[in-house]
């Protein structure tokens, strides 16, 4: 059975349920927005929320995808950078608890934390401290780690670090790994479009994009964008949100219809979609089956708060998707 290793920003997700918006105002956080914060502001915020109801989980886009693959029974590993602090130890223990092999790098800077504030109206406000995750460098990568795997999954949020990405792709090529990547965000695509064009053409085998990212890369919408992406990568996927998704594989375009779901929180939907698709691909399933699994998982996750499916959801879903 094929194995996969992912690399990305190792973050701990902290979800805080607020009774009102006072804390957002206290720290000048724009409701519904996402703000990058420094270490001092992170400490101040977490001191203020220490008595608030909250939940913690491993986070970061690739971490979510790799977690999903492990829950589906795929042998998976994860590369990221943390600190030897409470959050870093939590990240490693959670990885191991769900049978993901952690290949962690360490920094003197605190482990990254993405804090999500949920107000009573279900609006989410983000304060993200990248911390140790932002200090990962190309020369820290150990080629020996990659030799145990068949696929490499790269988080689009790493694209800004061109040296790191080039090194990853060289190692993948040397170790004969297939490379899958998610674009991450449309603004990252716009900022690094020329770099991405070379990267996709020469190194990436499977690309995941949502509508905004696909348009940012190609200047086209939906199926036209998919066709252009497929000129760069053998397998291209464009996620259309509530309209489903479209996949170009083996010279054929497949339309994957949406599935009914009560939309509560879309956080993590793209990550679990990638997990479902990669699972099907690694099992040798046809495009329709890969797309069905991906869509089934992503439709389930938007019915819960947070970027991961609950144990109860997995229990119900596994007989359906395996």
- Helices marked H in the chain: 22-26, 39-48, 61-71, 86-97, 143-146, 162-174, 186-191, 193-202, 211-218, 222-232, 269-283, 287-301, 311-321
φ/ψ (deg, to 5) at 123: -75, 140
Question: Which tens digit of pLDDT belongs to each residue from 22-76?
Answer: 989 999 998 888 888 999 999 999 999 988 888 899 999 999 999 999 999 999 9
Which of 158, 210, 213 is CA-nearest to residue 10? 158
Give bridge partners of residue 153 from the DSSP assignment.
6, 180
Confidence (pLDDT) at 253 = 97
Confidence (pLDDT) at 51 = 86
Question: Which tens digit of pLDDT belongs to each residue from 101-136?
Answer: 999 999 999 999 999 888 888 777 889 999 999 999
Judge whether 204 and 177 are in contact, CB under 8 Å.
no
Place of tokens 């990547």: 181
Name the more confident of 268 and 197. Answer: 197
Confidence (pLDDT) at 231 = 97
pLDDT tops 80 at residue 306? no
Phi-psi category of 283—alpha, beta or left, where left has phi over 0 and alpha has psi -120 to 50? alpha
φ/ψ (deg, to 5) at 167: -65, -40
Judge whether 7 and 65 are in contact, CB under 8 Å.
no
Half-sphere exposure of 179 (CA within 13 A, CB side): 26
Confidence (pLDDT) at 263 = 76
Confidence (pLDDT) at 267 = 76
Q: What is the DSSP letter of 10?
A: -
Confidence (pLDDT) at 187 = 87
Within 84-193, strands assigned E span 100-107, 112-118, 124-129, 151-154, 178-182
Pairing of strands 124-129, 34-36: parallel
Confidence (pLDDT) at 266 = 75
Judge whether 81 and 104 are in contact, CB under 8 Å.
yes
Confidence (pLDDT) at 260 = 81
Question: Which tens digit of pLDDT belongs to each residue from 219-259?
Answer: 999 999 999 999 999 999 999 988 999 999 999 999 999 98
Confidence (pLDDT) at 175 = 97
Supply the pTM of this predicted model. 0.93
The DSSP H or E segment spanning 210 is strand 206-210
* Domains of the chain in sequence order: 4-182+259-321 (3.40.1190.20)
pLDDT tops 90 at residue 264? no
Structure tokens at 229: 């992406």
Confidence (pLDDT) at 84 = 96
What is the rounded distance in angstroms from the CA atom of residue 243 to the CA atom of residue 240?
Answer: 5
Judge whether 198 and 233 are in contact, CB under 8 Å.
no
């Amino acid at each position: 059975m094929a194995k996969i290793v992912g690399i990305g920003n190792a973050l701990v997700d902290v979800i805080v349920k607020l009774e009102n918006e006072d804390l957002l105002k206290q720290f000048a956080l724009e409701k519904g927005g996402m703000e990058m914060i420094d270490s001092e502001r992170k400490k101040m915020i977490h001191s203020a929320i220490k008595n608030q109801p909250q939940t913690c989980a491993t986070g970061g886009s690739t971490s979510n995808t790799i977690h999903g693959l492990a829950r589906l029974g795929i042998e998976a590993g994860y590369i990221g950078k943390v600190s030897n602090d409470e959050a870093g130890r939590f990240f490693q223990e959670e990885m191991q608890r769900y049978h993901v092999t952690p290949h962690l790098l360490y920094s003197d800077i605190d482990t990254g934390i993405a804090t999500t504030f949920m107000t009573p109206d279900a609006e989410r406000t983000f304060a993200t401290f990248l911390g140790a995750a932002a200090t990962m460098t190309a020369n820290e990568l150990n080629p020996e780690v990659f030799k145990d795997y068949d696929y490499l999954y790269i988080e689009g949020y790493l694209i800004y670090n061109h040296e790191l990405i080039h090194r990853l792709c060289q190692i993948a090529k040397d170790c004969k790994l297939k490379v899958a990547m998610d674009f991450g965000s449309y603004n990252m695509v716009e900022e690094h479009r020329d770099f991405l064009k070379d990267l996709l053409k020469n190194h990436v085998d499977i690309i995941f994009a949502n509508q905004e990212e696909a348009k940012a890369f190609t200047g086209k919408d939906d199926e036209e964008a998919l066709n252009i992406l497929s000129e760069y990568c053998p397998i291209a996927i464009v996620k259309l949100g509530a309209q489903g998704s479209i996949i170009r594989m083996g010279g054929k375009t497949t339309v994957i219809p949406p599935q009914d779901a009560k939309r509560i929180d879309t956080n993590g939907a793209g990550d679990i979609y990638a997990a479902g698709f990669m699972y099907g691909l690694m099992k040798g399933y046809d495009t329709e089956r890969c797309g069905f699994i991906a869509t089934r998982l992503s439709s389930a996750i938007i019915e819960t708060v947070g970027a991961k499916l609950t144990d109860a959801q997995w229990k119900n879903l596994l007989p359906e998707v395996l």
